[in-house]
Structure 1
Amino acid sequence: MASEEIETSKFLKDKEAGRNAPEKQKELESSDTSCGFSIFKGPTLQRFATAHMFVIMYGLAGCFLAMAFTYFTGTITTMEKRFNIPTKISGLITVGNDISTVFSSAFLSYYASRGHRPRWVALGLIIIALFCLLMLTPHFFYGAGEEALRLTEEYGLTESIDTSVNSTEKNDALCHEKNSNCVKGAEDYMPIVLFFIAQFVGGIGCSLFYAPGLSYMDDSSASSKTPAMLSLTTFLRMLGPAMGFSIVSLCLRLYIDPFKTPLITTKDPRWMGAWWLGWILITVILLIAAVFVGMFPKEMPSAKARRLKADDDEDIPLAKRSFQDMLDSLKRLARNKVYVYNMLASILYFFGYMPFWIFTPKYIEIQYRQSASTSTMATGTWALGFSAAGVLISGYVISKYKPSARAMAAWNFVVDYLTVAGILCYILVGCDESDRANSLSILPTGDSCSASCDCEYVYYSPVCSPENITYISACHAGCTEKGLDALGKTIYSGCRCMGNSPNLTSLSGLTSLASQSQIAMDGACPVDCNKQFIIFMAVMCFLKFVGATGRSSNLLLALRCVPSRDKTFSLGFSSMVYSVLTFIPSPIVFGYMLDSYCLVWGKTCSSKGNCWIYDTKSLRYTMNLVCASLIFVGSFWNIGVWYHAKDIKVFDEEETVNQTKKDEEIELKEKPKVIVQTGTLNNP
């Protein structure tokens, strides 16, 4: 009897367990499609579990991410001045995030696809917030620096400066016997190490942000809506550089120490803005964005319905993926000609266009004599506005007219040729006044008149002669005395390296200096390059617009040319390849190129510091010719993409629906004929 009760009880438990199993499975599955986490869950949040809402949030998060890296790009020249960093070292710092991408992108993107992808994206945003904090630390450790503080009124209160025009007291910036010290403290490489570590950490965050996020977005939306989704998220992401450059412009208008009063203006090449200030704001924004992105479900309800309805027998279950499966995916990608050719074309395009992504503000500063604030604002507003327009227009055209894969590939190599033509125009848009001024600036440095002066380690403090020639410093001009005119402007006198000056008695407040006839005004000689700057901006806006029109089509080809199961891995693997072959070597190569055309270095005790004056004409020709050649060669691979893209279905979902409708129409047309024929057979 007892045994019968035990068996009955067991049977009832098993039966109950059988009843509860589907309910538990249903509950488990529903948790994968519900928004929020921990106590932040409920029907209120669930209504946001849509593909459109994720696209908006993912696009805004991408905007903030792009804002962070754009802020770094816009502050490069200021950091070079502050920490005496050559451009080739800046390029090396820049590739830190790409080096980490090499080691993390393929593996993280593959294994992130098996988990909660929105939370992987959120983790990436948190890591990028850590990158921002690390970029901020050198300022708190080292402060504004003596080179910047000595150009403030507060520094003058502690270091008494005799402003009398008759003063004969020697100054470090003036010509005197060789007994001065070199620039100390500049040989500290710790700021460079901190910047590199920050970039390395940021690369890991980018790996977790892009590949899982793009594949999640593509899986969550119907393929017919993917172009519009990509355009929207790309548009939102492109607001990031505009916002980043705007923040840079505002921060660089403030002096590096906002609590002190500078003696120079933003037009002075020695001006250092508050490069560190924007990192605080960006860190907070990224952390907030991470919370919102992490609330999205593991899988969208609509995407899950499509997945369950579709036949996925050939796909490998996410939970059972292994390293061997990843190798199999890699073999499939290697045999995919469209994927390989598109990657080769992108490698050469990215390599050639990289200096314009990283060094555009610097290029504008040195070529057209614009301030750091103006350069970053122009790059981040006008140019990126045209980029955003290009993305939106291309997304609308693709969504409305649904071009074939071949048409998209054809447009990609048209974009390449237009880009080559625009870059060649950059060579012609030079400022002759700036070229001439830079070449004249170095002529007096080797003159025997300043050979007895101790100018080797003098700070870069340009002065302008009456002949409109800029000297590196008053020391290099052979000046022996310093004073002020009636307007409070600094005047250097006794400048024996200058020619005879014309009619000095007409200068106000210089009657006591008129007899000396050799004077110099503080600051570089004025150069007007505004006309050439406007022409350059017009060409750059055109290139930004054209290049942006090819982004959506190129990304669609990359997503559609591979099987669904390899989508996330293909994005991660391509990111790794781009890092190894493009994003790492290109900034270093062009950084060395910029340094090779440097005319005046800020020399320090142990090594050369940052560059102050470039051979702008030679640099303009060399850099633009190299960039145009690389992109031109890459265009031939896009022709290969066009040839092999004939079988790719970009809008396969709509084509299937249309084909089904056609089959139904044919069936309805043929059905009456069959009935008549059957009736004839049955009733002879």
Structure 2
Amino acid sequence: MATLLVITKCIFSEIIISFIRAHFLPKLRNTMEAKDSQAKSYGSNVHYQNLQTLARDDTQHQNLIGTNEPDIDKSDTTCGIGSFRPACLQKFTNMYSFVFFYSLTGLTTSTLTIYITSQITALERQFGFSSAESGFILACNDIGFLVAVLFISHFLRNGHVPRLLSFLTGIFGISGLICALPYFVSSAYQGSGKVMETIENNEIHVSKLYRQVDQAFTTNYSFFVDMRANSTRYERDYEYMCKQPISFGNQVNNGTDGNNSKEQRTPQSTDTFALVFIAIGMIIQGVVKSGRSPLVTTYLDDNVPKTETGKYIGILTGLILLAPSISFSSATLFSKLYYTLEETDLTPEDPRWIGAWWLGFLVFGCVSFIVMIPVMLFPRKMPQKTKKWKNIPTPKLQMKWTNTHAVYNKGDTRSSLKISLKGFLKSILRLVRTRAYVLLIISLSIEFTGVAGVLSFEAKYVEVQFFLPAWKSNAYLGLTKILTLSAGAIIGGIFTTKFKLSARGSLALISGTFFLLALITCVYLITGCELPLIVGPASVPFRNPAPAEYMMPECVTSCSCDEHRFLPVCFNNTITYFSPCFAGCQDKNGTTYTNCKCLPDGSTVNSGICDTGCNTLYYYMATAFLTVFIGSTLFVPSYIATLRIVREEDKSLSIGMLTFSTSLLGWMMGPLVFGLLIDNACIVWNSSSTGRGSCSLYDNTNLKNYIYVTQMVLTLIASMLMLLALIAYIHDQKRRKRINNEQCAEMEIITDTDL
């Protein structure tokens, strides 16, 4: 704990120093460079000698102003923290080492962010969330992101980037633990008697029947003793089976206690506590995530040659994009475990199965505290090995010291802050006036709306569309994304570096690729499995009027079946029933329901939907593989286009505004919009007197069309807007060139006149 406090203190100290650097130094650079250029142009030796004198006078103030030059502050270019800077660490003072160790933190935090998308079904089943509520939880990540991204990208851009990133990674770990908290609180609540309360609210009132047994047949007593001893089993199974009227002397109890069964039934509704805490955890993740992209991109661009930026961004992005594979692979393992980690008679194929969703948040949250340590030790600035610093400072450096010292002599911190805020607003104004940049971020935002919506619910979509258990859905998606995202990002980075793509080339590449992705999306519309005809309530559109020999007269009516409890069973691999109750089943043996009075000779049925003969899953996965690979090649060109369109001093803020806009209009809106679309495809809801819960049955055809037609349209719009961005950029370049030529012509005229 003491070590943690020391580290935290150091980190907060660095943040304060970073804040000072961000406000006092950047605004002086333009003035310094201008004066230095003027001094060189006119060859003022006197001025140069005066600068030398001022520089020597300012030597005693070098530590105060915090210059970054290697000869002035070695701690800014060496690995370590405080006085702990052993020689063995200095071998890691290079960009490749930083990329490797930061990729571990980025990989862990990205895995934690993506992991929740693989557990949507488990969360909906345990806490009764609808898809719209699940979309809100996912959108909370970007709500937190939007709150902080512009301020972090502008005010902390000149801070100690590695230590800031390390600190943010630790906060990320805390957010993971917060997301896991609802499981422990919910488990404690359930352990205090929620199960027995649920049993008493179901169709069979245990306590009521106990009192009736004392007045009637004592032979039935053992049945209810067994039922109370196995209350969890009856909660899971009995409510889905046929409820036979039970006679007690002159009384007949049909399981309703004289009231309508629907009024007594209280299925699960939304758990507000869980919704709030998971949302808080996701908001914290978003706040922390806001610093990653702008800070890392600027750190790389400031410490490597400009022609090498694309390569390093591609390598780093490629390594971090292994996160989806790790996320879905771990979700496959955790989804096979029941969420209480106890033995159960349910199987992962059962619609009531809830995987151990909370384990992922716990594991990756704890790993974050480990991987944050190496990143903390990297220097503020990588040493420039090719530079030879002289004993006598250059005029540029001298002017920098002199002007900075003058600012500190003023001691007017408020004035400096005001200047910095004014510069912040001017930078935003310059960016919004750049037409190509505005069209670029609108295009990417629209594209990311579709991408975010599909990625958020992809695991659930595969599970529902192809009738798979959650662990299989996650396994297929994990295999699809293994190395695909990383390979695409790395290849995109290498391609950008190899062909030295400019902003114009990057914009053209993005526009054409978006159009290609829209065409590929059409393939999704011919994959998928139709929902089979189901013997069930009249509310089911795909109702199967079962043959007379498979439906005994009025057997369903006498069973008091609940049309809100969906648990499909298959008879003879030909007919799917809405639940065991609609087949008249009264008992269960493993995954087989027996003594089904609605079937001939009390036949049996098996859990699950009958085989539909659908074999398009592999076509879907192949299309997903191709889409992910092609789309991931655009990561680096998108960054390069953004950095090259804007002015040098605006590049950090441009990345911040890009991520702000894509989060607001893309990653935040996507889950919300697609969550509502998915809810519109629902046929059967779990409902209660307190509200609507999660969806039990979807119309697969509508589900497919709602998702992929929407994504295709959004991608086509994004492609056209990116093409307009390219046209605007070419026009602006021609205009700048014309203005420069006119200025040069004017200078030549003035020179000729003076001569």
Alignment-derived partner of residue 242 in structure 1: 325
Counterpart CA distance in 1 for 2:648 and 2:55 is 39
Picking from 494, 499, 520, the partner of 1:422 is 520
Counterpart CA distance in 2 for 1:456 and 1:284 is 44
Select between 304-313 and 551-560 the one with higher mean Cα deviation.
304-313
Matched, 1:191 2:191: no
Contact 1:182 1:457 in 2 (8 A): no
Matched, 1:469 2:552: no
Counterpart CA distance in 2 for 1:311 and 1:457 is 80
Q: CA deviation at 1:107?
A: 1.1
Picking from 203, 221, 229, the partner of 1:159 is 229
Counterpart CA distance in 2 for 1:292 and 1:408 is 34
Q: CA deviation at 1:557?
A: 0.8
Q: CA deviation at 1:520?
A: 4.8
Q: How does 1:530-549 map to 2 (within 5 A)?
A: 531-549=615-633
| Residues 212-241 of structure 1 deviation map (CA, whole Å, 9 limit, x = unaligned) | 122112211111111110110011011111
Alpha carbons of structure 1 residues 293 and 186: separation in structure 2 relative to 1, 3 Å: same
Counterpart CA distance in 2 for 1:342 and 1:610 is 38
Counterpart CA distance in 1 for 2:596 and 2:173 is 52
Counterpart CA distance in 2 for 1:647 and 1:142 is 60
Alignment-derived partner of residue 682 in structure 1: none
What letter matches 1:249 in structure 2? Answer: T
Q: CA deviation at 1:282?
A: 0.5
Alpha carbons of structure 1 residues 41 and 147: separation in structure 2 relative to 1, 3 Å: farther
Counterpart CA distance in 2 for 1:586 and 1:161 is 41
Alpha carbons of structure 1 residues 645 and 253: separation in structure 2 relative to 1, 3 Å: same
Alignment-derived partner of residue 627 in structure 1: 711
Alpha carbons of structure 1 residues 43 and 527: separation in structure 2 relative to 1, 3 Å: same
What letter matches 1:409 in structure 2? Answer: L
Contact 1:105 1:207 in 2 (8 A): yes
For this pair of structures, how many residues does the alignment match? 601
Q: How does 1:39-118 map to 2 (within 5 A)?
A: 39-118=83-162
Matched, 1:482 2:587: yes
Select between 369-378 and 15-24 the one with higher mean Cα deviation.
15-24
Alignment-derived partner of residue 612 in structure 1: 696
Picking from 604, 608, 632, the partner of 1:524 is 608
Counterpart CA distance in 1 for 2:55 and 2:520 is 74
Picking from 329, 333, 340, the partner of 2:431 is 333
What letter matches 1:175 in structure 2? Answer: K
Alpha carbons of structure 1 residues 19 and 106: separation in structure 2 relative to 1, 3 Å: closer
Counterpart CA distance in 2 for 1:589 and 1:82 is 23
Contact 1:463 1:523 in 2 (8 A): yes
Counterpart CA distance in 2 for 1:156 and 1:380 is 43
Contact 1:63 1:239 in 2 (8 A): yes
Q: CA deviation at 1:188?
A: 3.3
Matched, 1:289 2:371: yes
Q: CA deviation at 1:384?
A: 4.2
Select between 140-149 and 358-367 the one with higher mean Cα deviation.
140-149
Alignment-derived partner of residue 376 in structure 1: 474
Counterpart CA distance in 2 for 1:278 and 1:195 is 13
Q: Percent same amino acid among aligned pairs?
A: 25
Q: CA deviation at 1:326?
A: 0.7
Picking from 257, 271, 286, the partner of 1:203 is 286
Select between 336-345 and 320-329 the one with higher mean Cα deviation.
320-329
Picking from 499, 518, 523, the partner of 1:401 is 499
Alignment-derived partner of residue 248 in structure 2: none
Contact 1:463 1:520 in 2 (8 A): no
| SS of residue paired to 2:694 | strand
Alpha carbons of structure 1 residues 227 and 16: separation in structure 2 relative to 1, 3 Å: closer
What letter matches 1:471 in structure 2? Answer: Y
Alignment-derived partner of residue 171 in structure 2: 127
What letter matches 1:614 in structure 2? Answer: Y
Counterpart CA distance in 2 for 1:302 and 1:158 is 75
Picking from 241, 265, 269, the partner of 1:182 is 265
Alignment-derived partner of residue 721 in structure 2: 637
Contact 2:488 2:629 in 1 (8 A): yes
Counterpart CA distance in 2 for 1:104 and 1:34 is 30
Counterpart CA distance in 1 for 2:730 and 2:132 is 43
Picking from 69, 76, 88, the partner of 1:32 is 76
Alpha carbons of structure 1 residues 309 and 588: separation in structure 2 relative to 1, 3 Å: farther
Counterpart CA distance in 2 for 1:311 and 1:229 is 29
What letter matches 2:592 in structure 1? Answer: K
Alpha carbons of structure 1 residues 263 and 114: separation in structure 2 relative to 1, 3 Å: same
| SS of residue paired to 2:315 | helix
Counterpart CA distance in 1 for 2:321 and 2:232 is 52
Picking from 339, 343, 346, the partner of 2:441 is 343
Alignment-derived partner of residue 251 in structure 1: 334
Picking from 578, 594, 597, the partner of 1:491 is 594
Alpha carbons of structure 1 residues 209 and 604: separation in structure 2 relative to 1, 3 Å: same
Return 5+ residue gaps in structure 1 as ranges.
Answer: 1-13, 164-168, 502-513, 650-684
Alpha carbons of structure 1 residues 335 and 303: separation in structure 2 relative to 1, 3 Å: farther
| Residues 338-390 of structure 1 deviation map (CA, whole Å, 9 limit, x = unaligned) | 21111011011111222221111111011111221111122122234322222
Alpha carbons of structure 1 residues 482 and 84: separation in structure 2 relative to 1, 3 Å: same
Contact 1:126 1:287 in 2 (8 A): yes
Contact 1:125 1:209 in 2 (8 A): no
TM-score normalised per structure 2: 0.73
Contact 2:145 2:287 in 1 (8 A): yes
| Residues 318-345 of structure 1 deviation map (CA, whole Å, 9 limit, x = unaligned) | 9866211110000110111221111011
TM-score normalised per structure 1: 0.80
What letter matches 2:446 in structure 1? Answer: L
Q: CA deviation at 1:309?
A: 8.8
Counterpart CA distance in 2 for 1:344 and 1:353 is 14
What letter matches 2:354 in structure 1? Answer: M
Q: How does 1:142-157 map to 2 (within 5 A)?
A: 142-143=186-187
| SS of residue paired to 1:128 | helix
Select between 54-63 and 587-596 the one with higher mean Cα deviation.
54-63
| Residues 35-69 of structure 1 deviation map (CA, whole Å, 9 limit, x = unaligned) | 22134323322332212222222222211111101
Alpha carbons of structure 1 residues 530 and 370: separation in structure 2 relative to 1, 3 Å: farther
Matched, 1:360 2:428: no
Q: CA deviation at 1:132?
A: 0.4
Alpha carbons of structure 1 residues 584 and 392: separation in structure 2 relative to 1, 3 Å: closer
Picking from 353, 371, 376, the partner of 1:271 is 353
Alpha carbons of structure 1 residues 244 and 555: separation in structure 2 relative to 1, 3 Å: same
Alpha carbons of structure 1 residues 54 and 431: separation in structure 2 relative to 1, 3 Å: same
What letter matches 1:461 in structure 2? Answer: L
Q: How does 1:593-612 map to 2 (within 5 A)?
A: 593-612=677-696
Return 5+ residue gaps in structure 2 as ranges.
Answer: 1-53, 200-224, 245-253, 408-415, 547-552, 734-755
Alpha carbons of structure 1 residues 33 and 597: separation in structure 2 relative to 1, 3 Å: same
Contact 1:441 1:472 in 2 (8 A): no
Counterpart CA distance in 2 for 1:211 and 1:23 is 28
Contact 2:450 2:715 in 1 (8 A): yes
Counterpart CA distance in 1 for 2:231 and 2:116 is 36
Q: CA deviation at 1:454?
A: 4.3
Counterpart CA distance in 2 for 1:94 and 1:199 is 7
CA RMSD, 1 decimal? 3.7
Select between 398-407 and 232-241 the one with higher mean Cα deviation.
398-407
| SS of residue paired to 2:616 | helix
Contact 2:678 2:706 in 1 (8 A): no
Q: How does 1:640-679 map to 2 (within 5 A)?
A: 640-646=724-730
